[in-house]
Amino acid sequence: MSDNLLHTPLESVHVELGAKMVPFGGWYMPVQYTSILDEHAAVRQQVGIFDISHMGQIVINGAGAEAWLNRMLANNVAKLQPGQGQYSFLLNERGGVIDDLIIYREAADRFFAVVNASRIEQDFFWLAQHQPEDVALANESDLWAGLAVQGPLAAAVFARLFTGVALPPRNGILRFTHEGQELVVCRTGYTGEDGYEFFSAASHGPAWLKAFVAAGAKPCGLGARDSLRLEMGYPLNGSDLSEDLTPIEAGLGFFVDLEKGDFIGRDVLIAQKENGLTRKLVGLQYLEKGAPPRSHYAVESTDGQVIGELCSGVLSPSLMTGIGMAYLPMEFTKLGTVVNIDVRGRKFSAKVVKKPFYKPAPKQA
């Protein structure tokens, strides 16, 4: 490939499996193999597998790691016991989201962060700029291949491949050795279903993808990944989060700890809490069948004023109705508020609903 795209170590397997490959965030990635609807259903009902090798891994090590991370991140890493992880944010001084990530504590002074593909360089640069002497940083993003195995049967697939290895509990991390290989498994995902993110040395990635597929996981592309995450109301950085929007505006205040002491962006978040917001991210769901809502479609009040635009939108494969998210002025954010979404000049009525749009069956662990 003589393009400027980055290539995942699993590309040859994707091609072998018949994937349709597309550029995504600077990477050449599978958007689907057979059908987004089938892949989506596989994750909701059985088990699917996604290549997440494009995502980044940053290791933070040292005596000062906990105290420093608590100044760099919005959530409270002091709450994590070794083996536990949490969703968190790297914020700029304006409280805007540089990245949303999951940070795991592996030991008292060692942390493992999994970050968005498109933000690896910004994240690492930002961290390195603020790095104190008693903390070491390593960008391991190129070293790891990543697979997200998701769905009600994900744990059964793991048990088939790793006899005697117990998956960590929800949000947990386990680093283990298997036939001489160092592997990492994190009990998390981006679909709302039970599952885990699995990391191996990049060179071993293709064999692991084949092994998981042979053990029953259906290969799934970014198309299904997007419809699955949006049914859960999970934000996608770059679409639903940006450096100009705070986690409070995104409705993600649950993952911010304003009481833990100072961190970058905290003043802005406190001011928003005290003074109130002017806009907030809401979930919108069509009242009737209609053309699939998509990002950048205008959102209008029922009297025809443009009040915002969709940052994400999709025809929900589980609900078979249009769903989307938009930052709207506060007067339009009350549950049940009806707005119109403009699709090529046609208006489809939608109402503000609580997220998630879709509730998966209860998970184990």
Would you tell me which residues interact with another protein (CB under 8 A)?
A: 31-32, 35-37, 40, 223, 227, 290-292, 294, 314-315, 317, 344, 346
**Per the structure block, which two tokens stand in for 316?**
């929900």
CA atoms of 145 and 148, how far apart (whole Å):
10
Least separation in angstroms between CB 291 and another protein: 5
- The burial of 62, by beta-carbon neighbours within 10 Å (0-12 exposed, 13-18 middle, 19 or more buried), is given as middle
Measure the N-to-C terminal CA separation of the chain; round to a whole number of Å.
Answer: 43
**38/109 with CB nearer another protein:** 38
Nearest 5°: phi and psi at 229?
-70, -35
- Least separation in angstroms between CB 289 and another protein: 8
The CA-atom distances, in angstroms, between 149 and each of 25, 49, 116 are 21, 4, 17
Number of H helices, E strands in the chain: 8, 20
Q: How far is the CB of 320 from another protein (least distance, A)?
A: 8
Q: Are 178 and 217 in contact (CB under 8 A)?
A: no
| Alpha carbon distances (Å) from 365 to 172, 193, 197, 280 | 10, 12, 15, 32
**Residue 278 CB coordination number (10 Å):** 10
Query: Least distance from C-beta 84 to another protein, angstroms?
Result: 35
Q: Which CB, 96 or 233, lies closer to another protein?
A: 233
Residue 86 vs 312, nearer CB to another protein: 312
Q: Supply the minimum distance, in Å, between the C-beta of residue 3 and another protein.
A: 21
CB of 228 to another protein, least distance (A): 11
**Of 188, 103, 105, nearest to 154 (Cα)?**
188
C-alpha–C-alpha distance, residues 221 and 224, integer Å? 6
Nearer to another protein, 80 or 315 (CB): 315
Burial zone of 111 (CB within 10 Å; 0-12 exposed, 13-18 middle, 19+ buried): buried
Residue 218 C-beta: closest distance to another protein, Å: 15
Q: How far is the CB of 109 from another protein (least distance, A)?
A: 44
Q: Which is nearer to another protein, 292 or 356 (CB)?
A: 292
Between 216 and 290, CB nearer to another protein: 290
Which residue's CB is nearer to another protein, number 221 or number 265? 221
Q: How far is the CB of 15 from another protein (least distance, A)?
A: 17
Count of CB atoms situated within 10 Å of the CB of 344:
6
What dihedral angle (degrees, nearest 10) is formed by the CA atoms of 140, 161, 12, 151?
-90
Spatial contact of 131 and 137, defined as CB atoms under 8 Å apart: yes
By beta-carbon proximity to another protein, the closer residue of 158 and 297 is: 297
Q: Which is nearer to another protein, 32 or 86 (CB)?
A: 32
